[in-house]
């Protein structure tokens, strides 16, 4: 499978990388190792020693450089060998280094041409950084399916009406078509569901009115970063009076068939309530782990190694956003490869 390379992928959460233990993570089917140099800046290298191909991640960070645990070669942030106990440092003693940025509690990696790595393209996820810990939760799950199946899942929220009928569902996503707007490197999907039966989860969260006006606004950003803002008010009430959530779903391909799924969430109410924060996070993780993940992994299996389009999927109205984005990503990959 070909991936889009000239873009930022979330490689991990900031707090996953510290101390003398490097972090190994496969990204776009390449073995990557991450660690912090002496000034704390995150570094990403190809996780394979050029000498005997031992994973550098089996080694140890010391003095801000990564020492191979097998024969002691050490590599700096540029991937250059800076210590060879067995002789001179020849030019070939180096590994690929990937551009990395740390921003918004996350580690962003550029798997394409380093010359094109553009900080302006890092997704603007200020909420990750700007909210108190009592109103922030984040997590990571490894999913055994292609990342675009995970993206589809978020971009077609009608699935909540069938897969999560007792929590996020209720029928309003299905009854109300999303408005899809293409902005180039971002695409927005807006569901505005006026005068609807409240979702079960709203009842659980204390919403008592019989009818609700609710909104869910997703902004997808290249390649597979989604911000989702949703909230509700009693039907007919101004939106400003409602409580709302801001949730990020970020998919980074591990291989063609497996995905690093990062998620984070905040809210605009009761931001000091750590208990509430924990409860919401646990509920969200349970729904995803027990309902979405098994279904998406089953989709992957049922495709039996075939290409998505080759299987000739029937397109529904609710696929509008997901299909637009699949096509956009396909085109960008074609362009990227044509430019090579």
**Binding interface with a second copy (CB under 8 A):** 31, 47-48, 50-55, 58, 67-72, 84-87, 90, 92-93, 152, 156, 158-159, 161-163, 174, 294-295, 298-299, 301-303, 311, 313-314, 316-319
Give the shortest CB-171-to-a second copy separation in angstroms.
Answer: 8
Q: Compare residues 109 and 157 and give the one whose CB is closer to a second copy.
A: 157
Q: Compare residues 133 and 312 and give the one whose CB is closer to a second copy.
A: 312
Strands 74-75 and 65-67: what pairing?
antiparallel
Give the shortest CB-285-to-a second copy separation in angstroms.
Answer: 20
Yes or no: say if 335 and 4 are a contact pair by the CB < 8 Å rule.
no
Give the shortest CB-184-to-a second copy separation in angstroms.
Answer: 26
Give the shortest CB-169-to-a second copy separation in angstroms.
Answer: 10
Nearest of 224, 206, 86 to residue 151 by alpha carbon: 224
Q: Compare residues 71 and 105 and give the one whose CB is closer to a second copy.
A: 71
Q: Compare residues 101 and 249 and give the one whose CB is closer to a second copy.
A: 249
Give the shortest CB-85-to-a second copy separation in angstroms.
Answer: 5
Q: Compare residues 278 and 311 and give the one whose CB is closer to a second copy.
A: 311
Cα 142 from Cα 329, distance rounded (Å): 22
Neighbours of 332 (CB within 10 A): 17
């Amino acid at each position: 499978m070909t991936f889009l390379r000239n873009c930022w992928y979330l490689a991990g959460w900031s707090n996953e990388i510290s101390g003398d233990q490097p972090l190994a993570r496969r990204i776009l089917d390449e073995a990557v190792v991450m660690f912090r140099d002496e000034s704390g800046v995150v570094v990403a290298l190809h996780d394979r020693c050029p000498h005997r191909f031992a994973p550098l991640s089996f080694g140890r960070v010391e003095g801000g450089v990564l020492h191979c645990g097998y024969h002691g070669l050490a590599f700096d942030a540029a991937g250059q060998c800076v210590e060879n106990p067995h002789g001179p440092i020849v030019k070939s003693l180096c590994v690929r280094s990937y551009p990395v940025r740390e921003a918004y509690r996350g580690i962003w990696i550029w798997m394409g041409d380093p010359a094109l790595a553009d900080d302006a393209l890092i997704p603007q996820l200020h909420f990750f950084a700007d909210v108190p810990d009592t109103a922030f939760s984040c997590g990571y799950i490894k999913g055994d399916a292609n990342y675009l199946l995970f993206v589809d899942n978020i971009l077609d929220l009608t699935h909540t009406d069938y897969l999560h009928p007792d929590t996020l569902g209720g029928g309003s996503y299905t009854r109300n078509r999303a408005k899809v707007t293409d902005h180039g490197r971002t695409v927005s999907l807006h569901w505005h569901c006026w005068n609807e039966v409240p979702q079960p989860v709203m009842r659980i969260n204390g919403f008592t009115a019989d009818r609700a006006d609710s909104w869910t606004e997703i902004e997808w950003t290249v390649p597979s970063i989604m911000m989702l803002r949703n909230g509700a008010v009693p039907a007919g009430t101004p939106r400003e009076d409602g409580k709302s959530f801001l949730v990020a779903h970020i998919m980074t391909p591990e291989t063609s068939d497996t995905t690093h799924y990062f998620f984070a969430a905040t809210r605009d109410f009761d931001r000091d309530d750590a208990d509430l924060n924990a409860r919401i996070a646990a509920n969200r993780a349970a729904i995803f782990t027990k309902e979405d993940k098994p279904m998406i992994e089953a989709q992957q299996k049922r495709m039996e190694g075939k290409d998505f389009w080759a299987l000739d999927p029937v397109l529904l109205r609710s696929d509008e956003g997901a299909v637009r984005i699949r096509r956009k990503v396909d085109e960008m990959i074609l362009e990227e490869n044509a430019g090579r």
